[in-house]
Chains A and B, each alone.
Chain A
Amino acid sequence: MDLLRALAPRRTAHAHCDIPCGIYDPAQARIEAESCYRMIEKYHASSDEVFRARCISVKEERAELVKHHLDVLWHDYFKPEHLAQFPDLHETCWKAAKQASVVKRTVDLEEAKKLLALIDQVDTMWKGTNGPAATRLPA
């Protein structure tokens, strides 16, 4: 009703979360990066222009997902105290996200390999901070 709308607060205060569900694993980013790697391989192995075009198109999407998964880890999993253990934490996450952008732009297999290596560095930090026990459900 209009009176309510007129009186309504102009500001919103969030008493909420992202949920967070608390489930985090760099494997999500790695799987997408592996997919990009394979797509680049298949791109070079094919002479079918339509197939090659699809490889590039899907690689674009999956590399974007790599960036998303890395961003979620950086924003929501890693905590201030992890910096003491891994002082390069921010830089590692930053480099990995940037490399995902490079993989979007290129069909150079070496760049895709570099992305996997950088994600493995993020994985080392996740494992080194009790990630597997704290952020995955046991089988």
Chain B
Amino acid sequence: MIGPRALVRAWRARVAVAGRSMEPAIADGDWLLVDPDAWRVRPPAPGALVLLADPRAPHRLLVKRVHTVFPDGSLDVRGDAPDRSTDSRHFGPVAAADLLGRPWLRVHPLRRAGRVR
């Protein structure tokens, strides 16, 4: 189970999702708790959810899923809804060091609260 300090950190790092490129796993309007340290020690595996800055516009945060981990450690990230997503197909691979955390818990809307995978 997650400790209280980690929970506070995850709450502070929470994000509101805008857009539909991660449907059905994550919906427009969802609030997600984020573990900001998740990828600092160990890089993500394919299938993992990641928070990152848009390489084309670094003030914008994106939520994507890891599609491929390349031998050099860089990552191809994609949206779950490819028709609705701008991702590594458009802006290329991203470095694991550029990831900002792991969204792991939806806290809003309450009726859909729970782990996001």
Contacts and interface: CB of A to CB of B under 8 A. Distances in A.
Interface of A: 4, 7-9, 11-20, 75-76, 79-80
Contacts of A20: 86, 90
Given A8-B16, A75-B56, A80-B92, A13 B62 contact: yes
A19 B86 CA distance: 8
B43 interface: no
B32 A17 contact: no
Contacts, number: 74
B18 A13 contact: yes
Contacts of A11: 14-16, 61
Given A79-B90, A80-B92, A16 B19 contact: yes
Task: Determine the main DSSP class of A at the interface with B.
Answer: loop
Nearest to A21: B83
Given A15-B26, A18-B86, A79 B92 contact: yes
A15 B86 CA distance: 8
B21 A9 contact: no
A17 B21 contact: yes
A76 B14 CA distance: 29
Contacts of B19: 14-17
Given A13-B63, A15-B26, 5 more contacts: A9-B16, A12-B18, A13-B18, A18-B86, A80-B92
